[in-house]
Amino acid sequence: MGATGSATHSSIGVPNAPKPLTNRQVDEQLDTFLKESGALVRVNDAGREFRQIRAFNNRTFDVNKVVPTVVMSNEDFGRISRILGDGTDVVLEFNIVNRVYPEGATSYNTIAEIRGTDKADEVIMLGGHLDSWHAATGATDNAIGCAIMMEAARILKTLGVQPRRTIRVALWSGEEQGLLGSQAYVKEHFGSFEEPKAGYEKFGGYFNIDSGTGRVRGANVFGPSGAADILREILAPFKDDGVAGAAASRSRRLGGSDNTSFSQAGLPGIGMGQDPIEYQTHTWHTNLDTYERIIEDDVKKDAMVVAWAVYQLAMRDDMLPRFSKSEMPPKPPDENPQPTPRPTRTDSGANSSPRRGQ
């Protein structure tokens, strides 16, 4: 059995000491050790209560570098560990079916819009990510975010409004693998502050929902304080319903959700803050993320809030203010992971035949 550990030792105060390994480097070395030792399968402890399973992917994306891996409930993992600790062998049988697509595959974003009128070349966007992890059906992460945004567009379409700016809905692919769908879309259609494309100055804001089934309580927008002031005014009619307002952000760091793909480009990415409602504690990326966790009344109200806010931005004379050239925060450097040192064996069995089983 194997479980990923963390590098906890410190080199502070030790001249020329090697840097502690990152968690990713530790994981890579464990993968290499298991492969070279002839392990047939790796079993990870889910480490969560009440049989919650939270499973991701191996970061190598290379079946030649890792052994098949399963995530086991903490209760089962613990019982097996105790039996092994008592000196009794445990036999586990697995039927793992993986498929490899060496040529890769193309994922697609889903885009629809309500065409604008006198400012149709300017765009207000709203969306969520359509992909989800495999432990469950991804109801709160993020099928419900997509449903809220689709319902917001349906409300506007049903009302027969004629927005001045084009309102565009985007359901992203590849969010869980690193915001791939939204990053590609922004790069293709808008560019960035440093390398703008023709649509860059015509973009008015992107609303994102990706925090589960809870009520919307406010918004965070990339831009100067004036942008937050406008959103706060737009959301004011919902104050009695518990919508607190809006705050401004200066961060161009990528991560979290698809609104940061816009923020990184220097565009007004707007993340909607929500009540947590079991999100981090129970449903986020777990086997419990199913339709039964959705609170219908909350998400209906979320759709109304989003529809109103999107429509207001689509109707204003001016778009949201942005940072000026001198005020624009610098784009953070791309994260380049440190090369992983090659693991070496120092025990006397370094040249012995590998033992099978794990």
pLDDT tens-digit series, residues 255-309: 999 999 999 999 999 999 999 999 999 999 999 999 999 999 999 999 999 999 9
Determine the Cα–Cα distance for residues 242 and 93; give it in Å rounded to an integer.
52
> Tens digit of pLDDT for each residue in 32-85?
999 999 999 999 999 999 999 998 888 888 888 999 999 999 999 999 999 999
The two beta strands, 203-208 and 42-45, are: unpaired
Whether 58 is in a domain gets the answer yes
Instruction: Output the domain CATH number for residue 163.
Output: 3.40.630.10
Q: What is the pLDDT of residue 221?
A: 98
pTM of the full structure: 0.86
Residue 98: pLDDT band (50, 70, 90) is confident
Both structure tokens of 316: 């204003």
Number of domains in the chain: 2
For 273, other C-beta atoms within 10 Å of its C-beta total 18
Average pLDDT over residues 203-211: 98
Both structure tokens of 134: 């495999």
Q: Between the ranges 11-25, 49-63, 117-131, where is the mean pLDDT highest? A: 117-131
- Give me the domain span that covers residue 42: 23-85
Tell me: pLDDT of 3 over 80. no
Determine the Cα–Cα distance for residues 34 and 217; give it in Å rounded to an integer.
47
Mean pLDDT taken over the chain? 90
Tell me: pLDDT of 352 over 60. no
Is 282 found in the same domain as 202?
yes
Is 230 found in the same domain as 160?
yes
Tell me: pLDDT of 8 over 80. no
Give, rounded to a whole angstrom, the gap between the first and last alpha carbons of the chain: 5
Is 236 found in the same domain as 193?
yes
Is 41 found in the same domain as 132?
no
Whether 183 is in a domain gets the answer yes
Whether 234 is in a domain gets the answer yes
Q: Which residues of 254-268 are buried (b: 16+ CB within 10 A; e: fewer)?
A: beebbbbbbbbbbbb
Which residues does 66 contact at the CB level (< 8 Å), separation at least 6?
A: 31, 34, 35, 42, 58, 60
Is 262 found in the same domain as 117?
yes
Whether 92 is in a domain gets the answer no
Q: What is the pLDDT of residue 13?
A: 64
> Residue 35: phi, psi to the nearest 5?
-65, -50
Determine the Cα–Cα distance for residues 271 and 289; give it in Å rounded to an integer.
21
Residue 12: pLDDT band (50, 70, 90) is low
Whether 129 is in a domain gets the answer yes
Average pLDDT over residues 142-167: 98
For 152, other C-beta atoms within 10 Å of its C-beta total 25
Is 136 found in the same domain as 220?
yes
Whether 35 is in a domain gets the answer yes
Q: Between the ranges 60-69, 168-177, 342-351, where is the mean pLDDT highest? A: 168-177
Is 258 found in the same domain as 125?
yes
Residue 16: pLDDT band (50, 70, 90) is confident
Is 123 found in the same domain as 76?
no
Is 186 found in the same domain as 61?
no
Cβ proximity of 128 and 171 under 8 Å: yes
Residue 348: pLDDT band (50, 70, 90) is very low
Whether 13 is in a domain gets the answer no
Is 55 found in the same domain as 118?
no
Whether 216 is in a domain gets the answer yes
Q: What is the pLDDT of residue 57?
A: 85
Is 299 found in the same domain as 226?
yes
pLDDT cut 70: percent of the chain above it: 90
Is 244 found in the same domain as 123?
yes
Q: How buried is 44 (Cβ within 10 angstroms: 0-12 exposed, 13-18 middle, 19+ buried)? A: middle
Tell me: pLDDT of 182 over 70. yes
Average pLDDT over residues 104-115: 94
Tell me: pLDDT of 7 over 50. no
Q: What is the pLDDT of residue 356?
A: 33
> Tens digit of pLDDT for each residue in 210-254?
999 999 999 999 999 999 999 999 999 999 999 999 999 999 999
Tell me: pLDDT of 4 over 70. no
Determine the Cα–Cα distance for residues 87 and 85; give it in Å rounded to an integer.
5
Determine the Cα–Cα distance for residues 234 and 246; give it in Å rounded to an integer.
9
Tell me: pLDDT of 195 over 60. yes
DSSP string, 64-129: TTS--EEEE-HHHHHHHHHHHHTT--------------TT------EEEEE--STEEEEEEEEEEE
Tell me: pLDDT of 349 over 50. no
